[in-house]
Amino acid sequence: MLLRACLTTCYIQPVRMLGGVRLTPASSRAFKAVSYRSQAAQPVASPTAQSGVSKTTAGSAPLQVLGQTFPTDAWTNLTPSIASKTDRKLHLIPGHPLGILKQLIFDQFPGYAYLDTLPPVVTTEANFDSLLIPTDHPSRSRHDAYYLNATTMLRSHTSAHQLEVLRDHGHRAFLVAADVYRRDEIDASHYPVFHQMEGVRAFSPTERADGTIQREIAAMQETIRRAGVTATEDNLVGQSDRAALQPEHTRQADEVYPVIDHLKTSLNYWVAGIFGRMARYHEATGRPDLAERLGTTDRIPVRWIEGNFPFTTPSWEMEVLYQGAWLEICGCGIMKQKIMDDAGLQDHIGWAAGFGLERLAMVLFDIPDIRLFWSEDPRFLGQFRPGTITQFAPFSKYPPCPKDISFWVPTRLASAGSDAATETGFHENDFMDLVREIAQDLVEDVKLVDRFAHPKTGQTSLCYRIVYRSMDRSVTNEEINELQERVRTRVAEQLGVTLR
């Protein structure tokens, strides 16, 4: 179901969720994008068939999230540590890197409505159905999302608010910035709570006919010209001269293609502003080596790669050439007309774009570990000020403490991937979530380092290496040993495995 262009310069790994950042191929670790892509349909198991950290059943105590009470059921898998993050709102702190980046982007689009306080608890209908995400899409699994109950969850992307804002708020041009939640692997660039920004622009028949689109495009191009920074399209990978349109749009092709031009110009305008600001800062502070990561401070190469998202057609991924590699920063496309129809905008045509704030901020501010965004250490927060992109200066590096854990899973892995579920329901994301719930931000990295299939019994043994390291203090072996023992106990009790 996933349609991919054939890339000649680098390999793009399949990913799941509209926004995010990825470095290829020069980076030591590719960033996983955070936007929903269409995937081959797989059955999404009922909660009783899915393993998980939470064993909540109907009749268990209700959940308290942001002052509201929610009933629990067999789908509930929200852990206390994740629930505690719902009121942090890092993107609302003016002097925090995420707050700085959010405001810089808001300031680039003065004609848009800004929404950055929408609550994270949403219905599954808003998160999936309103975006035409298939009922058998793996992103609906309890392994990937945090559920309060079968019909309520923590949003897994800002796209969950598209229909709501168009239909109920009445905005036709808006930016949504918000915290989002997704169960994921553990390493320096992944965290179960992160932040996204969604941009939407919908055009009425009048705006498509009276030159509004062309005037807005010209204004953005003039701003870019005056700033002296240009985003240049070096590559259009896998694209024909004219993008394939939705069936509903084929008779309006002459009205759709200007909307596509507006989308791409808007993102070029955004890239030129943000990356140009970073390059100028590094030049002004005597770090031309950092400025030259983009190759030049007045020309920023970008390219567009055909994508396939459930809620946009045509779709693209936008990449920027950074440090000699293509950095994916955005997923975008023309919104499915069904979404516009559901919003009561049958005669409108719109575009949507989304990206992850953390991954972009890690590049712009030179922040090496995603956990640092959650630090309340003044040595971190004191380095930043509103309106300015500055380079992060590491203030400490405490030694890592690696610990291995091995266990048998009762049946063969269903597929070769390390994140595959077994026939009995073991799933790597459940293990990651359990480790993070116990160790909190003391866990830096978790990797599968060995897999062994017994030739006679068919059992599979997995060995994971857990790296513990604090960002702001030394930890003792005794402290880590206690955490590791708690992990071992909980893994055996909750994930149906046999420790070795």
**pLDDT tens digits, residue range 284-318?**
666 655 545 555 556 778 889 999 899 999 999 99
CB burial class (10 A; 0-12, 13-18, 19+) of residue 135?
exposed
Q: Which domains, and CATH codes, for the chain?
A: 22-41+80-381 (3.30.930.10), 401-499 (3.30.70.380)
* H-assigned helices in 3-43: none
Angle between helices 253-284 and 97-108 (to 10 degrees): 130
β-pair type (68-70, 152-154): unpaired
Global model pTM greater than 0.75: yes
In sequence order, what are the residues at sequence separation of 6 or more whose Cβ sits closer than 8 angstroms to the Cβ of residue 125? Answer: 151
What's the average model confidence in pLDDT over 331-360? 96
Amino acid at site 409: V
E strand or H helix that includes residue 361: helix 357-364
Token pair 């071992």 is at which residue?
488
Q: Which residue has the higher pLDDT, 234 or 500?
A: 500
Side by side, the strands of the sheet bearing 152-154 are 121-123, 152-154, 147-149
SS3 427: coil
Q: Which residue has the higher pLDDT, 261 or 290?
A: 261
**pLDDT tens digits, residue range 44-72?**
555 544 444 444 444 578 999 999 999 99
State CA 384 to chain mean position distance.
23
SS3 112: coil
Q: Of the ranges 32-36, 68-72, 178-182, 453-457, which one carries the lowest mean pLDDT score?
A: 32-36
Exposure on the CB side of residue 129, measured as CA atoms within 13 A: 8
SS3 270: helix
Predicted confidence (pLDDT) at residue 435 exceeds the cutoff of 50: yes
Predicted confidence (pLDDT) at residue 492 exceeds the cutoff of 50: yes
Tokens at residue 225, please? Answer: 């010209």
What's the average model confidence in pLDDT over 93-103? 97
Token pair 């670790």 is at which residue?
29
SS3 332: strand
State CA 372 to chain mean position distance.
17
